[in-house]
Every structure is written in C-alpha cells, then in structure tokens.
Structure 1
Amino acid sequence: MNLQTLICLFTLPLLASCNQTAKKEIQRPNILFIMSDDHAYQAISAYNNTLTNTPNIDRIAQQGMRFTNACVTNSLCAPSRAVLLTGKHCHINGKVDNRFPFDTTQVTFPQLMQKAGYQTAMFGKLHFGNNPKGFDQFRILDDQGSYYAPDFFTKNEGKINIKGYTTDIITDMTIDWLKEERDPNKPFLLMLFNKAPHREWFTAPRHQAEYTSKTFKEPATLFDNFETRGTAAKTAEMNLADHMNWSGDSKIYPEVMKELGLKEYMKWDISAFEKEYNRMTPEERESWDKNYKPINEKFKKEYPNMSREDLMHWRYQRYMQDYLGCIAAVDEGVGRVLDCLGNQKLSDNTIVVYTSDQGFFLGEHGWFDKRFAYNESFKTPLLIKWPNVIKPGITNDEMVQNLDFAQTILDAAGLSAPEDMQGESLVPLFKGQNEGFREEVYYHYYAYPSIHMVKRHYAIVSKEYKLIHFYYDVDEWELYDRKNDPNEINNVYNDPAYAEIVDELKIKLSDIRIKYKDSDKLDQKYMEASK
C-alpha cells in the first residue's frame, strides 16, 4: 500500500465528518421574527375579516399556527421589546416604561444565538438603545422613527438617512440582507421590526386614495359609558373625540385648525404633522395633498354643525382609514419577504413568527392607544409557521406571552435557556402537546402619571377570568368573566355570584407575583423613582 493510498484512507473519514458537521450546522432552523408596532389582532383578517384584509400575514396562519390567547406582560412599546429580548418581566429587566433605562447587564437571546453560531440581523424600530447586543448587522430607526425619509443608526455606517416610505425601506433592508449578506453556511436569526402602524399613521402614497375613501364598521362599544367600571377607565385620556390630536392624528392641516379655532390637545400635535409632511419628496407631498386636502375642505364645512356624536363617528373613520392604510403596506412587505424566502429556497427550514409588541384599541370603549389589561390592548396577534413541525392551519388557545419568545426560539434552535429566564418554551405547543402548560399569566403596567393617564395596575388572567388591581393613587379591583363578557363591559368584582372566584384569584395573584419576583416593595421603588 503506497503513501497516497494511506493518506486517502485516513483523510476521507475526516472529510466526511466535516461535511456532516457542516450539514448539521445548516439544518438548524432559521428564524424570521416579524413584529409590527401597535398592530391589533382585530386588524388581521386571520382573526377578524370585518375591518380589513391581510392576505400575506394570513399566509403564516394558513401554513402554521394561530394563537388566540397570546398576550403581553406590559402593553407599552419599549417594555414589550425588552421582555421579548430578555425573556424576563419588566421589573427584572428594568424597562418598566418608555422612560426607565434598560438594564444593559441583561443577557439577550440574540447574544446566545450569535454565540452558538447563528448569523443575526435586526432592521427597523427597536425604540431603546441604538446598539443592540448580539447582532452581526443592524439598522435601527432613530427613537420612534419617521414614516417618511427615516433616519437609521447602523452597525457599520453610523447614522444614515434614506428617502422613501419606512415600511418599504425596512422590507428592502431585510430582503437585501437575505440576498446579499446572509452566510449560506450558517443558520440565521433575522428580526424585522416595523414602525407601522404606530401613531401618527401616515400612509404610503399608493394606499391613500383607496383607504381615505373607505368606510369601516364601528365597534359595538364605541360609545361605552363605563357604567360598571372604576376610576381608571373613566379618567383615561384616550377617547377618540376628546383626546386625539387634530393635525398629527386626524390630518387636519395646521392652517385649517387655525381657521376653525381648533386647539392642540398635545403640544406636539402640529409638529408631528409637519415633521412627516416636510420629510416628503415633492411627489409624495403632491399625492398627500391630492388625497387629504379634499378631506380638510369637507371638514371645514361640516365641523361647525357637528355634535360630539357626529365627531366621534368622523374621527373613528379618519383613524381607521389611516391606521389600516398603514397596515396595507405592512402586509405587502410581509408578502415580499415570504416570497424572498421561497425564492432563496429557505422556506422549508425557516420558522416565521408574526406578532405585535402589544394590542391596540381600534375604537373599542371609544379609545385609541393601549396600556390597559383589557383585551384589545392586552391580547396580541401571534402567528407562527414551522414546516414539518407545526401542522398547517391550526389554532391554539393556551395563555402564551411575549415573555415566552426568548425561550421558544432558543429551544427551537437546540439551545438551553438561562435559568433566570421567566417564560416557557412554546415548542411543545407546536407539536400539539398542551398538557401542563400554564393556566394564568401575569400583567403589570407602570406608566402613570403619563400620557393617556392610564393608572398603574397589575392583573392575573386565565382563559376564563381576569382580575385587575389598580393602585398608586387608587385602590380598586375589577373582575371580568372572559367567556360570558368578551367585550369586558361588566365588572363583576362585587357580584356575590363571583365571590369565590375573587378569593381564589387573589390567592393565585399573590402566588404569581412571588413566582415572577414582583412585590409591593418593587412597586414602591418604581413609584418613588418616577416622581
């Protein structure tokens, strides 16, 4: 046997072993995590087809699992994102509201993915910090970001400005990364964070004519009088007729406001409109004026004779026209990214998640915005597909939270989660193994006193009931029967028929606060720090 033959005999097994290792590396699932800002589940046709159609987002539901009881731990943008990245409640990661700083010593799951060999990238709105840990590539919107000509903080280019419509730009960045920057020898974690449909809901030129001409069905509780609710619901400042901005929100031009004697509700009302309007190109501004100036002219004629009820109807339609117009671009972007996965032969080994950082009121209870533990704010869309693991077109009603995302993605990637993460992996649910999953979730909202003046509260929620405790400057309780009162208009806390339920849930609430290491002492700490 000659030397060349001996070398071949020894090296062939090694080469085969290397090839098998590389193949195994590539076979770990890719993760595409898409999150839009303030995208209500009511505005996804897979959940509700009475408001709008979202055929591309619906594709994820059709090819995977639709969660009907997905929810958040704190219905506010930056805190929700901190929970997503750390797998820990806000009182642990420090980001209890949009103002409090994130604890930068916290380990995020993208760091663990990157360390384990995943290529990682994030594009879009993060809303806290301009240098996210654990990403090989990122382009992050400056703070809330702009709908037109947005500024980005980037990994390699510093701060940049890009002309165009933000949803399209973020989509383009994502697709370009998949085509040009992705390492085919590594699995990837790709996070697409849309700004839309966050306030102030500026639509793309291509959707303006269609959506400003639509009329949308009003929610049954548009004129809710909060008869059985307490102080918190009655004093919240997010009523469509009373608390929306004229210019920024309803798109009444500043000069029309002046002509009609309309005052700014928030000091940034007119500046919010002007910021976006002045960022538009001449062509974009021409489209805007063509579609929105007629609305202003009509409003000038009608406003002097409008009752408060008339105004409520008008502002609801204006709100929905712009909000749902923004979602039209989001849905198109999702379709483009899904098509790119297919064209790149990546669909079969990619987990796709679509969700929002929280729910949103679309006129229910007469409100816009979020913050409350009530369903429209607390619940969030969650659609997940994983070919050959999740059966297409199925639903799941377990009580899942954004707290679970970190552990779920780590588990799917074959990685162990740190012991101090507080969520639960959803991978067993993907396989139909629902037994033993949690029965209740915990919610805690901190941002008071602040915009919209929603009082601090915490809650325990099961499939059947929701017990809420409002505190700080009040001490009030509310209980809702989620099965028999899905619109949550009847607070039954003081109903004798529910006395045993109240007692049982109070015990469970105390236990769950201990489980998640929340306490009156921490409540006091954050109350004192916010003064």
Structure 2
Amino acid sequence: MNQVYHFFKLTFSVVFIWIISIHSNAQKQTPQRPNIVWIVMEDMSPQFYGAYGNTAANTPVIDSLINAGIRFDAAFSTGAVCSPSRYSIITGTRTNEYGTGHHRSNYPIPTSVKPFPHFLKNAGYHTSNNSKRDYNTSERWRITREAWVESSATAGWWNRTEDQPFFSVFNFNNSHQSRTFTNPYKNYKGRILDQLSPDERIADEAIILPDYYKDTPEMRRELARTYNALKKIDNEIDTLMNKLRKEKLVESTIIFIYSDHGGGGLRTKSKGIALGHQVPMVVITPPAYAHLNPFKNQKATSQPVTFEDLAPTILALAGLDAPDYMTGKAFLGEAPEAQQYAFTSADRCGEAYNLTRSVSDGRYYYTRSFYPNRPAYSYQKYFDYAASRQLIRSYHMQGQLNPIQAMPLQTKPTEMLYDLKEDTWQTNNLAANPKFRKVKKKLSKALDNKLRSAKDVLFLPECTLDSISKTTTPFEYKSSDAYEFEAIYDMASLVGTGDKSIKKQLQGLGNENPIVRYWAALGLSAQAKSDLSPFQSQLKNQLTDDFPPVRIQLAALLLSHFGDPDARAVLTSYIHHDNTYLSLQAVQEILYLPKSESVLFMEEIKKLQGKEGLSGLLSESIDMYRYLHEGRELVYKTHW
C-alpha cells in the first residue's frame, strides 16, 4: 500500500513540475505584456502597394505583412507633412489645438504633455527610436529625453535587458519625397535604382500613372522613382523581419506598419485632400494577443483611424491608461473604441501658407479650404525644384494638359468631397453634386462642430502665434477667454462663399477683434473685382488698420484688383519688416499678384535677399520669386 502511495505521490510531483515548467517556458516565450514594433515608411499612399490593388508594385514582403494582419482602409495622418504628423503621433494630441501644425515650427507646448513612450518606459519597457525626431515644437529635446531609452540610427530592441518588453520604432526613409520626386535623378539613381538588381527594378513603362499626370516618357521616368524606392524599402523591411524571426520574437510582438502621411508627390504631400492624409496601415497581432484585437475575423476595416489614436492604442496594448489630455481612442486593447469620424488638418508647409480642415467617415472625404486664391500646386521651392513639377508647368504653358491634369494649377475650390472607394486618385469633386448634398452637409456639420469645440488655434496669423508663444503656450492661450474663436470662425467660414458675403465681410473690417478683421480681409480677397469695385474707397480707408496682417492682406487685394499705388507702398514697407512672419506674408502675397504687378517688386526683393540672418522661409520665397520672374535656376547646395 505504501509503495502504491509513494508511486502516485512521485508521479503527481513529476507531472506538477512538468506543468509548472511548461507554464514557465510559455511565459518566457510569450511575455504577459506584448512587444510592439512600428515599421514606418515615409511619404507613401496606399495606392502604390500591391496589397491595395496596384498591379505594377513589386512589394512582396510588405504585401505579405499587410495580408497577414488587419488592414485599416480609412487610416489618416492628422497632418499632411512629416513634422506635424509626428507631433500628433508622439503626444497623442492635435496640432490645431496646440499650435504645432506649421511644418518645422518651434512653438512651446505645456510641460504636462508627455510623449506616450514615456509611460511605457516608466512601466518597464525598453523604448527605442530609429531614428526621426522632428516633433515640431520647441519641446523637441525634452520629448526625446522623456520618450526613449535610446534614439539613434543603431537603436533597437537588441539593446534591451533579457526578457524586457520593448517598443521599437523603425523609420524607412528611402520612400521620402527627396528620393522619389525632389532630388535630381542622378541622386535617386545612386541611392535607389543602383541598389536594386535588374530583375527587381520597375520599368518606366510598367508603372500605373495617376489620372492627374500627363502620360509622357519624361513623366514616367520621374514617377517610376516612387515604385523603385518602395521596392528598396521592401528589401529593407525583409531584413528587419528576418531579424525578428531569427530571435524568435514574432509570436510575442504586435507589429504596426504605416506611413507618416500621404505620398510624396505633387498633389499629395502637404495638400489638404485625402491623397495628402490617407496612409497604408496594418496591424499584425500574434495568437497570444488575439484577445486584444477586436477585428479577429476581418482582413480589412473601414473604421476611421487617425494618428491621434495611436498613442492611446499603444498604451492600451501595454495595459496602461492614457492621460486625460489625449483625445484619441484606442482601437485595439481590452476595451477598444471606434471613432465615428477622422479629422485632419494641413497648415503652412515650408514657405507656402495653407489652412485646410477635413473630415472622413471612412467612405467620403470632405475638405474645407480657408485660404483663397491659391492653387494646389502652390509656388514652393522644394516642390518646384523637382523635374516633375517643372515638366507639368511646361506642359501647362504649352496648353498640353487636359482639365483633370490642369486642375491643380487652378485656384483651389472652397469645398471638396471625394468618394474614396470609387475615385482612386480623387479627381471627381462631388461637393457641388446635388446627389451628394446630404453627405456633404453631414460631414460639413461634423467638421464645424469639431473646430468649434477644439477652438482651432491655427486660425491665428503666424505672427500672432509667434508673439503669443513668447509668454505662454498656444494651447493655454486658446483655452482662455482671450481667444474669441466663435467670432473668428464665423468670419473665416465666409471665405470663398461668394458675393453674398461681401456685406458681412466689410462689416468685419470694423470689428474690435483684429483676428476677425484679418479673416474679413482674407475673405474679401477671394471676391471678384467687379463685385468689389463699388467698395474700393472703403477698402482703401482700411489700409491704416493698426494690425499689420490686415494691412498686408488689403494691400494685396487693392493692388491685385485695382493697381493702387498706396497699396504697393504698404507691401514694400512690409517686405523689409523685422518680423519674419510679416515679411513672409508680404512676399507670399506678392508671388500671387498678377505678373505685371508682381515683377515691379524685383529691386526690393533683391535688397531683401542681401539682408543678413534671413530666415529659410524668406530665402525660399525669394528664390521662387526670382525663378518665376527671371527664370533663375532653383538650386540646393546639398541633397537630403
């Protein structure tokens, strides 16, 4: 009897130890908290991937990863260029609430706003960034210190301690616009094309050309750069994934793949339509973390997602609560939430001013443009330096473009509405189509409500934003009673609405609030000369306004419409103003004057170019002015 008892006791002990061993090994192989890897491609739209339907693409690795996860077909960057997008990604907050929407700007944010990897790091994660850090705020270096255990071109999970969970970001920059469009072809050839074997290269004649480009051998040669750059990235991602597999980390790692904004191109990057914001995005969740994925049996979803949602989502996957100031929603995790709409914004990019606000329900994309009299192809050195942009301007001058191809060279519509499912390259604007009146009304109302609740601080002229930032943060200013956004937005909403708004806009010039007066002047500048002729004297009387942005805007209007010599004198005085943003506003307005008026500022522009300590924004504007009026070659001494 004792022998039987001891036999069963020994057997039970062995089995118990075996079970504990299995459980221990399972825990070691699959940590309770997931590892997370971000694969971030630069400047790329979903239309260029095989998994999204592009039959000319050669991206087998990326396509296999996309097909292995859940594809987000309505994923949007909050900004249309890298630095505002990265600000929203790292903080989980919106640029138009914190004043961080102008590309490569340097305005402060509250010290209470922390980068989301800070919370992961405090929870024991190894956080690594490889390696972009353009967070678009004067707090850039604080954010870098607080976010990352390491941030460099050699950073990665491989530097963590044993069994430490990790969050690792990898940026792949060979699809950046500098490679695909802007830099000279020789530079692209050395960096991209020559790095691919002959059988990997996508031939010029094989690519799918967007409808808005004229199909010529020269354009195909330029646009094939995007396809080949993406192939090079496909190879680089393969190397990274092989390292994950070799270290047996795939089953314990949730992988995100996305782009930092829409494609690098002439009608995409920095533009307010969906082509500038819609990004490829996929999340691969291994079986061990299937409970964190609410899309278990789906290959794709049209649920709207923006970069505002990434920070709370990552924190949720790690079992952490998002701080209250984060306004996005976690779309993965134990308690995911769905957004009804995706809201996006585009502001100044380089020297070119812009202010568009957009919303999508996942199917339709509505955009409201608040800057009148500007084409989608604005005068901007970084873009006009590209051979493809110069080809397009040449074709246009020769009358060789069809209406769709010429559209980006015309004044932008005030409203745009595109069907993302049926209109791949977004060339059919449905905003004026009565069949889509209800869709437009629904999205327009949602956008209005969002902007009013957010008190969008980027409706301030940048000279004011800069001045405010010397004593407080834009966020704290817009949160105070000093920012009368309702009155400002009411006036801004009249921009581009036609002659029915002239009376209200003229009344707005007498408003006590200088920002209201500024938007009244902007709105009037979009009115036709014939409609403003009866009010010429009234407009001229306002040239003495004590708020410089109003004076500059009205001077440009009076000079453009009526050739007023006093208006010319006002613009001349502001060309040389010590405030960079007032000088920039004046030069930018001069760029868009009728050529017969614009060219008369040549000597003053040359004087400005000789000024010491000139900002890059002004230097680029001057280069564009002389390129347009003298045919002076656009030059960059270095290529990035």
- State the TM-score bracket (shorter-chain normalisation): 0.5 to 0.7
Judging by fraction of residues, say which structure has more helix: 2
CA contact (8 A) 2:202 2:227 kept: no
SS in 1 for 2:85: helix
- Find out whether 1:419 has 2:355 as its counterpart: no
How far 1:469 sits from its partner (Å)? Answer: 1.4
Letter in 2 for 1:460: V
How far 1:331 sits from its partner (Å)? Answer: 1.1
Query: What's the counterpart of residue 518 of structure 1?
Result: 455
CA RMSD of aligned residues (A): 3.3
Aligned pair in 2 of structure 1 residues 66, 109: CA closer, same or farther (>3 Å)? Answer: same
CA contact (8 A) 1:493 1:502 kept: yes
CA contact (8 A) 1:37 1:358 kept: yes
Alignment match of 2:243 (pick from 334, 340, 362): 340
SS in 2 for 1:101: coil
Alignment match of 1:134 (pick from 126, 147, 152): 147
Letter in 1 for 2:168: L
CA contact (8 A) 2:273 2:358 kept: no
Aligned pair in 2 of structure 1 residues 182, 321: CA closer, same or farther (>3 Å)? Answer: same
- Find out whether 1:49 has 2:54 as its counterpart: yes
Query: What's the counterpart of residue 330 of structure 1?
Result: 233
Query: What's the counterpart of residue 119 of structure 2?
Result: 112
CA contact (8 A) 2:306 2:343 kept: no
Which structure 1 residue ranges, 5 or more long, are not aligned? 1-15, 140-169, 224-308
CA contact (8 A) 1:38 1:198 kept: yes
Which structure 2 residue ranges, 5 or more long, are not aligned? 1-20, 180-187, 374-412, 466-580, 583-640
Query: What's the counterpart of residue 207 of structure 1?
Result: 196
How far 1:522 sits from its partner (Å)? Answer: 4.1
Map 1:200-239 to 2 at 5 A: 200-201=178-179, 202=188, 203-204=191-192, 205-207=194-196, 209=198, 211=201, 213-223=203-213
Map 1:452-463 to 2 at 5 A: 453=352, 455-463=354-362
C-alpha separation in 2, matches of 1:212 and 1:62: 22
- Find out whether 1:91 has 2:96 as its counterpart: yes
Query: What's the counterpart of residue 261 of structure 2?
Result: 358
SS in 2 for 1:427: coil
C-alpha separation in 2, matches of 1:393 and 1:465: 21
How far 1:77 sits from its partner (Å)? Answer: 0.5
SS in 2 for 1:215: helix
C-alpha separation in 1, matches of 2:234 and 2:345: 30
C-alpha separation in 1, matches of 2:298 and 2:246: 23
Query: What's the counterpart of residue 347 of structure 2?
Result: 446
SS in 1 for 2:130: strand
- Find out whether 1:506 has 2:447 as its counterpart: no
Letter in 1 for 2:326: M
Map 1:469-488 to 2 at 5 A: 469-473=368-372, 476-488=414-426
CA contact (8 A) 2:317 2:332 kept: yes
Map 1:295-306 to 2 at 5 A: none
Query: What's the counterpart of residue 162 of structure 2?
Result: 184
Query: What's the counterpart of residue 197 of structure 1?
Result: 175
- Find out whether 1:494 has 2:432 as its counterpart: yes
Query: What's the counterpart of residue 278 of structure 2?
Result: 379
How far 1:81 sits from its partner (Å)? Answer: 0.7
CA contact (8 A) 1:465 1:482 kept: yes
SS in 2 for 1:27: coil
How far 1:374 sits from its partner (Å)? Answer: 2.3
Q: How many residues get paired?
A: 382
C-alpha separation in 1, matches of 2:431 and 2:217: 35
C-alpha separation in 1, matches of 2:197 and 2:125: 40
Between the aligned residues of both structures, percent identity stands at: 22
How far 1:214 sits from its partner (Å)? Answer: 4.3
Query: What's the counterpart of residue 72 of structure 1?
Result: 77
TM-score (structure 2 length as normaliser): 0.54
How far 1:513 sits from its partner (Å)? Answer: 1.9
Letter in 1 for 2:338: F
- Find out whether 1:61 has 2:81 as its counterpart: no
TM-score (structure 1 length as normaliser): 0.65
SS in 2 for 1:196: helix
95-104 or 43-52: bigger deviation: 95-104
Deviation track 1:187-211 (CA, whole Å, cap 9, x = no partner) reads: 0011111222112213343317553
C-alpha separation in 2, matches of 1:94 and 1:197: 28
Letter in 2 for 1:415: L
C-alpha separation in 1, matches of 2:46 and 2:420: 17
CA contact (8 A) 1:94 1:100 kept: no
CA contact (8 A) 1:27 1:349 kept: no
C-alpha separation in 2, matches of 1:393 and 1:473: 43
437-446 or 45-54: bigger deviation: 45-54
CA contact (8 A) 1:79 1:97 kept: yes
- Find out whether 1:319 has 2:257 as its counterpart: no
How far 1:368 sits from its partner (Å)? Answer: 5.2
SS in 2 for 1:133: helix
Answer 1 or 2: higher relative contact order, Cα 8 Å, separation at least 6.
1
C-alpha separation in 2, matches of 1:83 and 1:102: 14
C-alpha separation in 1, matches of 2:424 and 2:229: 27
Query: What's the counterpart of residue 550 of structure 2?
Result: none
How far 1:332 sits from its partner (Å)? Answer: 1.3
C-alpha separation in 2, matches of 1:499 and 1:393: 32
C-alpha separation in 1, matches of 2:434 and 2:258: 38
Deviation track 1:161-185 (CA, whole Å, cap 9, x = no partner) reads: xxxxxxxxx5xx35xx444x22223
Query: What's the counterpart of residue 624 of structure 2?
Result: none
SS in 1 for 2:52: coil
Aligned pair in 2 of structure 1 residues 208, 38: CA closer, same or farther (>3 Å)? Answer: farther
CA contact (8 A) 2:275 2:426 kept: no
Query: What's the counterpart of residue 123 of structure 1?
Result: 130
C-alpha separation in 2, matches of 1:183 and 1:507: 51
Query: What's the counterpart of residue 394 of structure 1?
Result: 299
CA contact (8 A) 1:211 1:321 kept: no
Deviation track 1:111-148 (CA, whole Å, cap 9, x = no partner) reads: 11101110111113233446453211111xxxxxxxxx
Aligned pair in 2 of structure 1 residues 317, 133: CA closer, same or farther (>3 Å)? Answer: farther
Deviation track 1:47-96 (CA, whole Å, cap 9, x = no partner) reads: 13323121222232232111111111111101111111111111234421
CA contact (8 A) 2:348 2:354 kept: yes
How far 1:101 sits from its partner (Å)? Answer: 1.7
347-356 or 127-136: bigger deviation: 127-136
Deviation track 1:262-287 (CA, whole Å, cap 9, x = no partner) reads: xxxxxxxxxxxxxxxxxxxxxxxxxx
SS in 2 for 1:443: strand
Letter in 2 for 1:192: F
- Find out whether 1:409 has 2:314 as its counterpart: yes
How far 1:387 sits from its partner (Å)? Answer: 0.5
C-alpha separation in 2, matches of 1:41 and 1:494: 27
CA contact (8 A) 2:89 2:308 kept: yes
CA contact (8 A) 2:175 2:226 kept: yes
C-alpha separation in 2, matches of 1:208 and 1:447: 39
C-alpha separation in 1, matches of 2:114 and 2:460: 26
